[in-house]
A and B are shown apart, each in its own frame.
Chain A
Amino acid sequence: MGLLSDPNRRRALISLLTRLNTPICIVCYMAGVAWFMGLAFEPFTLRTYMSENAMGSTMVEERFPAGERALATGREFSAHKKRTGGMPVEWLMKTMQAKGLEVFTQRFSRTLPFPDENKERYMVRGTNVYGILRAPRAPRTEALVLSAPCSPGDNNNQAVGLLLGLAEYFRNQIYWAKDIIFLVNEHDLIGMQAWLEGYHHTNTTGMDWSPLQGRGGSIQAALSLELSSDIITSLDLVLEGLNGQLPNLDLANLFYAFCQKIGVLCTIQGKLQRNDWDSVSGYSHAVQTMMLMVMKQASGRPWGDHGLFLRYHIEAATIKGVNSFRQYKTDATTIGRLLEGMYRKLNNLLERLHQSYFFYLMPSLSHFVSIGYYMPAFGLLAVILLLRALDLWVQLSTPPQRTEDGSSPGVLSLLTPLVISHLTGVALYMLPIRFQEMAVEHFPVSETEAVVLTAIAVYTLLSPGTEQGWRVLKLVAVLYLAVLLGCTALINFSLGFILALTLVPVAAFVTPHVPKVLSAFILVILSPACTLLFSVFFFQELQEMPISFQDGWLLFLSVISQGILDHSLYGSLVYPLITLLVYPCWLLFWNILFWN
């Protein structure tokens, strides 16, 4: 007989499962965490390599000569920007036209749901200016984008200058097989969102923009440039985009290959690469780099202007110029040559980048871990939930020792906690923005605070149910959490893993019989809100800018408000996920704890 159909063997297996459930769960949890930490260990990673055959190696000759002229253009741009107090639209249009591009503008306006304190804006109105370099001999079916943001103050002037210098140089070449669009967007991400929506004729976020008069073909790849100084010491690559989506690894490989060829120092997450992987400090450096990427990916924010392209299946990355105190400096001509080389290689593409990985983690710029290697870490955590579910199922199917209440737990007693917790989640999702209009004098985030606290207070007062009832509820809650975390980890591994790290122990140990006060305290510590608080402090530590508790609390509140803004401005899904799905799930466990 088979293993599962033989009743004797099945009984033995089940008794093994129930006896050893807790030890196996603990072992799985340790193994999951250890696997995750081991991902940054260099022998377990793979070297990056170029997968796309059409891009080949870096064999092009870069001849961009005009770095100084580009910087001069940047200074002109800065002067005109000061004079107009915003985007110097006429000057940009005139300059781009003089360089031989087809120039168009797009107006957009958007009222944020509540004032954004970080960037100090509420009613945003702006103009994007873009020029299209038409490919001399090719049909206008494909395009590449190079963008630089028009930032207030003294930021990113050199980026716009370099963009215009490259535009002039590219215009004189005849080997372009795709149109190149040079975009200067105002109000960084809001302007970029307006441009992308206009380009693709979609309107997902309710922004108001004028239609685009000129268009290229379908965009194959995009690079966003952020350069705020004449001389730089290193180039930083930013990959994380909206909802934790990453561009194809080939784009990072291309950047790294050109960095090595030209001899520019390149970093990821702002951290340099180290060669001593077998020492403790080398390993911790790699772990820090990887954890920074995990944190950034889990937040679901776009960390550069490129982040919004990814949703349209356009591979995009942001290149930031960093000027720190190092001896070896790189000038604008070299950066121009690097970008020229990258664009010549992207020009050779026949299809969109698809040969390399879309899901990966990078402990350094030259090593990566693909989804096949990092998923088992999450799988080990999800197994705990499944083991607990099996255990509960076994307990539920054995008949109760004392038949004190003949009725089996009704569907109603199960549905009530589910419905109430989801309604609370919906309230948490909708109330902060709604009540903002009513409570203008408060900061928006204190609304969120208030809602969360009220929800918890309201909820502990409700707790109906029978003895068996909590088991059924826990079974449902554990399976619900498993499915939720599984789906999240597939789309955004970092978010799924971080939530799993804190919520899986909660789900595993909570029953009505554990000591209530201590468990309530642990439950609150491991709730999504506190996880976010700890993540904020951890993130600051990783970036080597540790902050005090007050600053940390304010940063935490601003992170929540940014999350709400991201959701309404760009369609980020982290805020709805947490409020509508994860928080109700946590509330179910809270309910189980206070079952009586």
Chain B
Amino acid sequence: YINIYSGHTNNWAVLVCTSRFWFNYRHVANTLSVYRSVKRLGIPDSHIVLMLADDMACNHRNPKPATVFSHKNMELNVYGDDVEVDYRGYEVTVENFLRILTGRLPPSTPRSKRLLSDDRSNILIYLTGHGGNGFLKFQDSEEISNVELADAFEQMWQKRRYNELLFIIDTCQGASMYERFYSPNLMALASSQVGEDSLSHQPDLAIGVHLMDRYTFYLLEFLEDIHPASKTNMNDLFKVCPKSQCVSTPGHRTDLFLRDPGSVLITDFFGSVRKVELTMETINLTDPIEQLESGELQKEMHTYADQLPVSEIIHQKPKQKDWHPPDGFILGLWTLILLVFFQTYGVKHLKHIF
């Protein structure tokens, strides 16, 4: 029995732009264009975690304040007037990103900053910025490695925080970021292979910067043709931006994914499509309200489904570790003690001890 339906009930998106400064305008435009597509296809703001490391729309150097353009000659303003940025500026850090993914956020974190996914959620994760072989740079001061990312996804899997996950990355040498994944139900796309640079698209002379990266530009063009009822599948997404347009070679990874990519719809990840069945016949529903005897209390209490069962973790016994020979330090310490003892008292006393 091959599962061709996704079995998901809700969609989430985590869109991250990791670089700041005016000359990295295109990374913010990349993220905002994916945000725009995802919103247009139905995912509400409450289910989108948008992280932008710098504010381009209100940067002092922006000749068109409150706008971020993705096409030159200012054809498309991806900033719009209803953008909701959840993590902004210096809040975009590796720590915050990993905390969002794994759900380990302090209790005071507002809902808009949390990824409240469950085991029936399909999550889209989009990262863009400056990267290298095995790492992605956050804000000029830190990096996230592909190992950390893979472990974060494994944590998500073990805590049943996703049903299926689509990971898209648009950086230089992006394919290195998905090499280390080992959790099931992950599909990954990258804009360039290891050793290749992802290139930027066109500059806008009035603004004075490059507006978009090539891969995301063609991705945006591809997504503009998708509407909520589209039946386009992942195999078409893999064909976005061939080498002739992108100059780099986009890559993808599907071996961890249980379904065949040809049966995965684009809207499974980019949209929030509800399965609606129209019917003309009446359905008898059982009466949900039961009459209780007066004075009898409900014995069965509703319990809170704890996403992070802290109590279990704290009281967990540590696993039995394999026995290791004593530490070098302990050995050295005992050797020293013995040496001093025999130095002071002489070896002839040895026979008195043993």
| Complex partner residue of B22 from A54, A59, A136, A174, CB under 8 angstroms | A54
- Give complex CA distance A138, B60 in Å: 6
Q: Is A193 an interface residue (CB 8 A)?
A: no
Q: Is A456 an interface residue (CB 8 A)?
A: no
Considering the complex, give the chain A residue whose CB is closest to the CB of B208.
Answer: A60
A145 to chain B, nearest CB (A): 18
Q: Which of B10-26 contact A (CB under 8 A)?
A: 21-23
Q: Is A376 an interface residue (CB 8 A)?
A: no
Are B23 and A348 in contact (CB-based, < 8 A)?
Answer: yes
- For A138, list chain B residues within 8 Å (CB): 60
Q: Is B88 an interface residue (CB 8 A)?
A: no
Are B60 and A61 in contact (CB-based, < 8 A)?
Answer: no
Are B23 and A174 in contact (CB-based, < 8 A)?
Answer: no
B290 to chain A, nearest CB (A): 64
B172 to chain A, nearest CB (A): 14
A-B contact count (CB 8 A): 46
Additional pairs, 6, CB under 8 Å, beyond known A59-B205, A177-B60, A350-B22: A54-B23, A59-B203, A59-B210, A61-B206, A136-B60, A175-B60
Are B208 and A59 in contact (CB-based, < 8 A)?
Answer: yes
- For B203, list chain A residues within 8 Å (CB): 57, 59
- For A57, list chain B residues within 8 Å (CB): 203
Interface string of A33-66 (1 = CB under 8 A from B): 0000000000000000000011011011100000
**Lowest 3 CB-CB distances: which A-B pairs, in order?**
A61-B205, A177-B60, A138-B60
- Give complex CA distance A221, B203 in Å: 25
- For B209, list chain A residues within 8 Å (CB): 56, 59
Considering the complex, give the chain A residue whose CB is closest to the CB of B23.
Answer: A54
B257 to chain A, nearest CB (A): 38
Considering the complex, give the chain B residue whose CB is closest to the CB of A56.
Answer: B23
Interface string of B178-216 (1 = CB under 8 A from A): 000000000000000000000000010110111000000
- For B63, list chain A residues within 8 Å (CB): 173-175
- Give complex CA distance A347, B203 in Å: 17
Q: Which of A170-210 contact B (CB under 8 A)?
A: 173-177
Q: Is B44 an interface residue (CB 8 A)?
A: no
Q: Is B61 an interface residue (CB 8 A)?
A: yes
Q: Is B133 an interface residue (CB 8 A)?
A: no
- For A137, list chain B residues within 8 Å (CB): 58, 60, 65
Q: Which of B57-77 contact A (CB under 8 A)?
A: 58-63, 65
- Give complex CA distance A59, B58 in Å: 21
- Give complex CA distance A57, B62 in Å: 17
Are B21 and A54 in contact (CB-based, < 8 A)?
Answer: yes
B95 to chain A, nearest CB (A): 25
- Give complex CA distance A347, B61 in Å: 8
Q: Is A135 an interface residue (CB 8 A)?
A: yes
- Give complex CA distance A350, B21 in Å: 8
- For A61, list chain B residues within 8 Å (CB): 205-206, 208
- For A60, list chain B residues within 8 Å (CB): 205, 208
- For A347, list chain B residues within 8 Å (CB): 61
| Complex partner residue of B208 from A53, A136, A344, CB under 8 angstroms | A344
- Give complex CA distance A176, B61 in Å: 6
- Give complex CA distance A175, B21 in Å: 15
| Complex partner residue of B61 from A53, A59, A175, CB under 8 angstroms | A175
- Give complex CA distance A119, B205 in Å: 45
- For B59, list chain A residues within 8 Å (CB): 177
Are A348 and B208 in contact (CB-based, < 8 A)?
Answer: yes
- Give complex CA distance A60, B203 in Å: 9
- Give complex CA distance A61, B63 in Å: 12
A200 to chain B, nearest CB (A): 25
Which of A135, A136, A173, A177 neighbours the largest number of chain B CB atoms within 10 Å of its CB?
A: A177
* A and B contact pairs by CB, cutoff 8 A, 5 listed: A53-B23, A56-B208, A59-B205, A175-B62, A348-B61
- For A173, list chain B residues within 8 Å (CB): 63
Are B208 and A174 in contact (CB-based, < 8 A)?
Answer: no
Considering the complex, give the chain A residue whose CB is closest to the CB of B22.
Answer: A348
Which of B21, B23, B65, B208 neighbours the largest number of chain A CB atoms within 10 Å of its CB?
A: B208
Q: Which of A371-389 contact B (CB under 8 A)?
A: none
Are B60 and A176 in contact (CB-based, < 8 A)?
Answer: yes
B325 to chain A, nearest CB (A): 44
A139 to chain B, nearest CB (A): 9
- Give complex CA distance A344, B207 in Å: 10
Are B23 and A135 in contact (CB-based, < 8 A)?
Answer: no
Considering the complex, give the chain B residue whose CB is closest to the CB of A135.
Answer: B60
- Give complex CA distance A137, B60 in Å: 6
B58 to chain A, nearest CB (A): 8
- Give complex CA distance A347, B59 in Å: 12
Considering the complex, give the chain B residue whose CB is closest to the CB of A347.
Answer: B61
Are A177 and B206 in contact (CB-based, < 8 A)?
Answer: no
Considering the complex, give the chain B residue whose CB is closest to the CB of A62.
Answer: B205
- For B210, list chain A residues within 8 Å (CB): 59
A174 to chain B, nearest CB (A): 6
- Give complex CA distance A57, B206 in Å: 14
A63 to chain B, nearest CB (A): 9
- For A136, list chain B residues within 8 Å (CB): 60
- Give complex CA distance A345, B203 in Å: 14
Which of B59, B63, B210 neighbours the largest number of chain A CB atoms within 10 Å of its CB?
A: B63
- For B58, list chain A residues within 8 Å (CB): 137
A173 to chain B, nearest CB (A): 7
- Give complex CA distance A347, B23 in Å: 12
Considering the complex, give the chain B residue whose CB is closest to the CB of A137.
Answer: B60
- Give complex CA distance A121, B351 in Å: 105
- Give complex CA distance A325, B208 in Å: 36
- Give complex CA distance A175, B63 in Å: 5
Are A174 and B206 in contact (CB-based, < 8 A)?
Answer: no
Interface string of A534-545 (1 = CB under 8 A from B): 000000000000
Interface string of A442-473 (1 = CB under 8 A from B): 00000000000000000000000000000000
- For B21, list chain A residues within 8 Å (CB): 54, 350
- For B61, list chain A residues within 8 Å (CB): 175-177, 347-348
B171 to chain A, nearest CB (A): 16
- Give complex CA distance A56, B23 in Å: 8
- Give complex CA distance A59, B203 in Å: 7
B261 to chain A, nearest CB (A): 38
- For B60, list chain A residues within 8 Å (CB): 135-138, 175-177
B56 to chain A, nearest CB (A): 12
- Give complex CA distance A136, B60 in Å: 8
Considering the complex, give the chain A residue whose CB is closest to the CB of B202.
Answer: A59
Considering the complex, give the chain A residue whose CB is closest to the CB of B62.
Answer: A175
- For A135, list chain B residues within 8 Å (CB): 60
Which of A135, A175, A177, A344 neighbours the largest number of chain B CB atoms within 10 Å of its CB?
A: A175
- Give complex CA distance A173, B61 in Å: 10
- Give complex CA distance A136, B58 in Å: 12
- Give complex CA distance A61, B58 in Å: 20
- For B206, list chain A residues within 8 Å (CB): 61
Q: Which of B252-298 contact A (CB under 8 A)?
A: none
Interface string of A258-298 (1 = CB under 8 A from B): 00000000000000000000000000000000000000000
Which of A53, A59, A135, A350 neighbours the largest number of chain B CB atoms within 10 Å of its CB?
A: A59
Q: Which of B119-169 contact A (CB under 8 A)?
A: none
- For A348, list chain B residues within 8 Å (CB): 22-23, 61, 208
- Give complex CA distance A290, B38 in Å: 59
B37 to chain A, nearest CB (A): 27
B201 to chain A, nearest CB (A): 12
- Give complex CA distance A174, B67 in Å: 14
- For B205, list chain A residues within 8 Å (CB): 59-61
- For A174, list chain B residues within 8 Å (CB): 63, 65
- Give complex CA distance A400, B63 in Å: 82
Considering the complex, give the chain B residue whose CB is closest to the CB of A54.
Answer: B23
- For A176, list chain B residues within 8 Å (CB): 60-61
A133 to chain B, nearest CB (A): 13
A532 to chain B, nearest CB (A): 47
Interface string of A141-177 (1 = CB under 8 A from B): 0000000000000000000000000000000011111
